[in-house]
Structure 1
Amino acid sequence: MNDLLKKIVEWNEANEYQKCVDAIEAIPEEERGYELTVLLGRAYSNLGVLGDNNSKANEDGVDIFQLEKAVNIFESVRLQGLDDWYWNCRMAYALWMTSGRELEALAYARKWQQLKSDDEDAANLIKTIE
């Protein structure tokens, strides 16, 4: 499993989000666990906003289907994620990019900042949303 996690981190850093999705979805859902589930949500969120290999970087729109899928994946591990700064971070970003859900995103961004007070990205997202 550690090798897979390393590959997922590498693919994410290389903007190869579809590889992340394919690798994680090859594992039965009941065997993924919390960490892989959150990473799957992140991959879908990145696909929705950036596209594979940042193919959407210069486009104005987002893929709402991918973002909604990401939010649903994050929701599936809500109980485990509520006190995890990273889960709140990913939920905040996915909701922020989903039109009409900015106030929901703000609540998660604030929780993220509460859990990881030294994270400038949390503070920046809060300022952007407010």
Structure 2
Amino acid sequence: MSENLLEQLELWHEEDEIQEIVDAIEEIDPEERDYVLNSHLGRALNNLGRYEEALELFEEIAEEGEEDPLWHFRVGFCHYYLKQYDEAIREFEIADKLDPEDEDTLEFLALSRRKAAKKKSTVKKPVQKFDFSNFWDDSEYALDTYVSEPPSDELIASVEEELVFKLPAFYTSMMKLHNGGIPHNTRVPLGQEDLEISGFLGIGRDKSQSLCGAAGSRVRIEEGGYPEIGVVICDTPAAEHEVVMLDYRSSGNDGEPEVVHVDKDNNYKITKLANNFEAFIRGLVSAEN
């Protein structure tokens, strides 16, 4: 194998001329390609998003790559973008063992673990299993202030893009049935003293009490100085002093957030209310209870 060819392959890689790499190597008879050339080809296929082809190629040279951290990293890279996160974790862990503290390996290992955890924690119960028939208190005030038409998928995507957070599946399904409003059950049991909520912000921009409305999530966070941990989802009677938020610190922006209370008057103290939005809804009780 020519040293000039290897130098050219590296130059094309640095200049992001990836297809040039593929074309040049594929002109060589497969029987004449060694481990180094196949590794270059696999990396190029990965960079072109041809992950399944790359994975097949890497499997062909698996015996030679067994002790090569780059081989394991590139195989993990394939699995990661094929959304096979458990397999990606396995390969990145081996790569880390063979080459400890490699920054790229550590970054993708952390991403894979987070994606795997998110996949396992995805809400699986369909929203239809929760009885919403008597959930909402549709007073004139509620209808005028909170409730909008059910959101389209396009509107949901637009709001999520503006907020920079993916909304929980249970919440979006719930809003498609009734977009924002005041519930009959407004109390969150907290032991000695319950937390009271006023209403849920719907998905949209037309009503002031909607996620991207005039009194929406971003406005409340910026004007109230609240921590940038997610999305304001609920009103409370003391709206200027506290909020209920979806907290994405543990899950990442596209994961399943916890629900928390943030108390502005108590140095922005954060209190966890529920592991996820569905659990929060199911935990609400009436004032009488």
The CA deviation string for residues 12-47 of structure 1, in whole angstroms up to 9 with x for no partner, is 111111100000011111111001001101101101
**Residue aligning to 2:31:** 30
| Structure number having the greater strand percentage | 2
Distance 1:86 1:115 in 2: 9
**Residue aligning to 2:45:** 44
Higher RCO by CA contacts (8 Å cutoff, separation 6 or greater): 1
Distance 1:70 1:29 in 2: 14
**Residue aligning to 1:80:** 64
**Residue aligning to 1:113:** 96
Q: Which has the larger radius of gyration?
A: 2
Matched residue SS, 1:123: helix
Matched residue SS, 1:92: helix
What letter corresponds to residue 117 of structure 1 in structure 2?
A: P
What letter corresponds to residue 95 of structure 2 in structure 1?
A: W
**Residue aligning to 2:86:** 103
What letter corresponds to residue 72 of structure 1 in structure 2?
A: E
What letter corresponds to residue 84 of structure 1 in structure 2?
A: D
Distance 1:72 1:35 in 2: 16
Distance 2:24 2:11 in 1: 12
Q: Which runs of 5+ in 1 are unaligned?
A: 49-65
Shift of 1:4: 0.5
| Structure number having the greater helix percentage | 1
Q: 2:76 aligns with which of 73, 77, 92?
A: 92
Shift of 1:94: 1.3
- Give the CA RMSD over aligned residues: 0.8
Q: Which runs of 5+ in 2 are unaligned?
A: 114-289
Matching of residue 71 in structure 1 with residue 71 in structure 2: no
Deviation >4 Å, runs of 4+? none
Matching of residue 128 in structure 1 with residue 129 in structure 2: no
TM-score (norm 2): 0.38
Distance 1:102 1:17 in 2: 25
**Residue aligning to 1:54:** none
Matched residue SS, 2:34: helix
The size of the alignment, in residue pairs, is 112
Shift of 1:82: 1.2
